[in-house]
Structure 1
Amino acid sequence: MANSAEIIKRGNIAFGTSGARGLVEDFTPQICAAFTLAFLSLYKNEKRLAIAIDNRPSSPQIASHCINAAKSLGFSIDYYGVVPTPALAAKSMGDNIPSIMVTGSHIPFDRNGLKFYRPDGEITKEDERSILAAKIQVPDLDFNGVLPKQSLEAAALYIQRNITPFQPGLLTGKRIGIYEHSSAGRDLYSEIFTHLGAEVISLGRSDTFVPIDTEAVGLTDIQQAQNWQQEHNLDAIFSTDGDGDRPLLSDETGTYLRGDILCLLAAKYLNIEGLAVPVSCNSCIEESKYFRAVERTKIGSPFVIEAFGKLIAQNQNTAGFEANGGFLLASDIAFKGGTLKALPTRDAVLPALAVLAAASQSSISALVKSLPKTFTASDRLQHFSKDKSNAILNLAEHDSEAFLQMIGMPMLKVLSTDKTDGLRMTLSSGAIIHLRPSGNAPELRCYVESHSQSKADDLVKITLDKISNASF
């Protein structure tokens, strides 16, 4: 009988920035059981586990493997079916029990993942190391693929959580399009927006999985949003990634806001004082001077959460967000409608509602125009090996002249670098190029800043085009 550490080491499933990820074919019954048993070994006095899934075709089967493993330890199961990740987190944290979300978020449907929650929130990097090191015996189990009866309590709690802080008529007179595609929350969002007074138009529901990446929105999706806005005369379009923890929100022209800009505006509306954000977020966060303290971190929600401790000690209202738009509420926030409880994991609905509330007396585009004029763009090279990504970063760090020559910018110089996560280079032109291998997939991500949106868009395209054609 093999133990969990041996099974995980032999497998191809590994922790990235947002849980354990890998190809669907590698999520065997044994490796699902190994991760589940190792995770639950951290909670020897607990005998209850919450589980939910996204809409990927592989998610029900993976969930059944995890459930069978948990039952072998005597755990009872609270199964919530397809709900957004923050809905599962809010419910399991309220019940003070551990939970597992079966989701690959935005990555293609041939991949999937497991995201683990302690009773008090996301697991830490230290917890990840403990899971990998655990040597729990994995018995031969009956993997029958049968799921328990679905509870609706997590969905109901999430709806109530998002409507309570805001006035019931907040969105009266607004026409909100909801791009549903295959999002795990697509059956909940209409109820939330309708309760707040909006006229909701359902858009783009899909029976096949759509891998929406809120950090690298495709040109087809951008054009589609603008077409929908014109066709339906929409005030905004709301959507999320696959598991509903990263938002997309458009302004009244159908133009999607970048995630960090969306969350910056939301944080201002929510009167956030202390803010933790990854190094990849727009530097206008500091330039705006909206916040008493801003802490920069490595990319990934565990690193943002790690920064909360110091910020909470010195600031009454504390939150964080990522460049992908996922908003993490670290402290309780007082509203006229009551208190919104902390939820220190990525959420998509709260930042969107906060921005819509902030724009009630003007427009979303006017809010964006009020910010400092620093513009960002990002994209990625898919199917780009980590070895090739590391070779690019090594060249840029140790021979910046050769790197700039390679991307067609020999007239510039690298003035400074930041190695907090990947390599962030400030150029003599004032622009910033930030390269980082993905922690979840064979991808190289590129984030840039410039003084105009067109220059930022051009710079990220040129950089990735040149890198993709380079010989390594």
Structure 2
Amino acid sequence: MAPAFGTSGLRGLVSDLTDELVRDYVRAFLTTVTVTAVYVGRDLRESSPRISQAVISAVREAGLIAVDCRAVPTPALACASLQNQAAAIMVTGSHIPADRNGLKFYTPLGEITKRDEATINAALGAVFVADDGRVEAAEVLGSFAKRYVDAFGANALKGLRVGVYQHSSVARDLLVDVIAQLGAIAVPLGRSENFVPVDTEAVDPDTRQLLAQWCQDHELDAIVSTDGDADRPMVADATGQVIAGDVLGVLTALDLGAEAVVTPINANSMVEKVGFAEVRFTRIGSPYVIAGMDEYRGRQVVGFEPNGGFLLGFDAYGGATKALPTRDCMLPILAPLCMAARRGVKIAELVAELPQIFTAADRLKDIPTPQSKAFT
């Protein structure tokens, strides 16, 4: 199965993501942007450092500055590239197994669109001969953490005990740091040196049982986590019950005072019943959500997906939190927790106040792409 674009980025087997193929896709992407620098990040998969070096090599071949951000969350990388009017490439397979990996591309305006994907595919085979670019290093985690501490305040979670399921998330230390800076006691849990493909949209029964046990053993008010590249959140209440990503999305949108919400057609229809001025449903995939948000440019628009990834389309919290129109894990983790803390209630009580429309999600593994496409 050759690497191909899916709902968010290029993905394929590690064995198929050769250095030459990676460089080819990077060269093709660079024909679509006019920039002087490209920020490059990666997740914690074993294959990611090698693929990241292939990306950096291709950027230098194009005569551009490659800014090596090392292991960082995808939204932190995107945020840094937006702030610096640079392109960005994240080496990650998100939540899929460790024998797979991929690339996510960002222009200075944010995540690429489906139209951009078609342009990249058409440009495969592009050749650059400049090779006079430089490799620089960048530290992006500090400013990304500050983004949320400034938004919610140093005591926003004071008095809470919050578990952080670290596994192999690229945000595992960042989450502990931010939770602590917001005043809570952060309890690190389940750190793994091997890659763990956590799917926040279809949390397996063993993990759910583990979350419940941790809540009991450590007397936690909540447990938080992310997928591998930290663009999807996972939040469990004080009993270990996982809160669905689209429910987190609704709570976050309410906390932000959003006017318009854009979300895929498979999201919980409860979003239509909580008082947003406009709700628009799209096809499944963050590029479609971004395209839908563009139609509400200039308004307080947000987007979210059932996997929990949240897209912010305006400057929020008095301008402290700038727009970030790509999937983010931090905002839908922190906004509901801080909302509950302000009101002096448990996060499960916030969920119970919403219209009770229930959904369920799971996944089928290793389905050949031609067969799965027959259902789209």
TM interval, short-chain normalised: over 0.9
The residue correspondences of 1:316-395 to structure 2 (distance < 5 A) are 316-335=299-318, 338-360=319-341, 361-389=344-372, 393=375
- Cα distance in 2 for partners of 1:164, 1:332 equals 13
Matching residue within 46, 50, 73 for 1:61:
50
- Cα distance in 2 for partners of 1:257, 1:160 equals 26
TM-score by length of 2: 0.95
| CA-CA distance at 1:135 after TM superposition | 5.1
| CA-CA distance at 1:287 after TM superposition | 2.1
SS for the counterpart of 1:190 is helix
| CA-CA distance at 1:149 after TM superposition | 6.5
The residue correspondences of 1:427-466 to structure 2 (distance < 5 A) are none
| CA-CA distance at 1:339 after TM superposition | 2.5
SS for the counterpart of 2:242 is coil
- Cα distance in 2 for partners of 1:390, 1:342 equals 33
Counterpart amino acid of 1:362? V
The residue correspondences of 1:79-228 to structure 2 (distance < 5 A) are 79-134=68-123, 136-138=125-127, 150-152=137-139, 154-228=140-214
Q: Is the CA contact (8 Å cut-off) linking 1:33 and 1:138 kept in structure 2?
A: no
In the alignment, which residue of structure 2 is the partner of 1:28?
Answer: 18
In the alignment, which residue of structure 2 is the partner of 1:441?
Answer: none
Of structures 1 and 2, the larger Rg is shown by 1
Q: Is the CA contact (8 Å cut-off) linking 1:293 and 1:311 kept in structure 2?
A: no
Q: Is the CA contact (8 Å cut-off) linking 1:17 and 1:301 kept in structure 2?
A: yes
- Cα distance in 2 for partners of 1:117, 1:242 equals 18
Higher relative contact order (CA 8 A, sep 6+): 2
Q: Is the CA contact (8 Å cut-off) linking 1:68 and 1:141 kept in structure 2?
A: no
- Cα distance in 2 for partners of 1:389, 1:103 equals 22
Q: Give the superposed CA RMSD.
A: 1.8
Cα 1:135/1:54, change in 2 over 3 Å:
closer
Q: Is the CA contact (8 Å cut-off) linking 2:81 and 2:87 kept in structure 1?
A: yes
- Cα distance in 1 for partners of 2:126, 2:216 equals 59
SS for the counterpart of 1:304 is helix
| CA-CA distance at 1:250 after TM superposition | 0.9
| CA-CA distance at 1:151 after TM superposition | 2.6
Aligned residues: 372
| CA-CA distance at 1:388 after TM superposition | 4.2
SS for the counterpart of 1:382 is coil
Counterpart amino acid of 1:100? I
Where do 5+ consecutive residues of structure 1 fail to align?
1-10, 394-421, 423-472
Q: Is the CA contact (8 Å cut-off) linking 2:262 and 2:281 kept in structure 1?
A: yes
| CA-CA distance at 1:150 after TM superposition | 4.3
Counterpart amino acid of 1:177? G
- Cα distance in 2 for partners of 1:156, 1:109 equals 28
Counterpart amino acid of 1:104? G
TM-score by length of 1: 0.76
- Cα distance in 1 for partners of 2:222, 2:41 equals 29
SS for the counterpart of 1:165 is helix
Counterpart amino acid of 1:353? L
- Cα distance in 1 for partners of 2:40, 2:221 equals 36
Cα 1:352/1:137, change in 2 over 3 Å:
closer
In the alignment, which residue of structure 2 is the partner of 1:18?
Answer: 8
| CA-CA distance at 1:334 after TM superposition | 3.2
SS for the counterpart of 2:303 is strand
- Identity across the alignment (%): 45
Counterpart amino acid of 2:238? E
- Cα distance in 2 for partners of 1:137, 1:329 equals 34
Q: Is the CA contact (8 Å cut-off) linking 1:274 and 1:312 kept in structure 2?
A: no
Counterpart amino acid of 2:316? I
SS for the counterpart of 1:376 is coil
Q: Which aligned runs of 4 or more in structure 1 are off by greater than 6 angstroms?
A: 139-142
The residue correspondences of 1:406-425 to structure 2 (distance < 5 A) are 422=376
In the alignment, which residue of structure 1 is the partner of 2:276?
Answer: 291
Counterpart amino acid of 2:31? S
- Cα distance in 1 for partners of 2:364, 2:267 equals 19
| CA-CA distance at 1:22 after TM superposition | 0.2
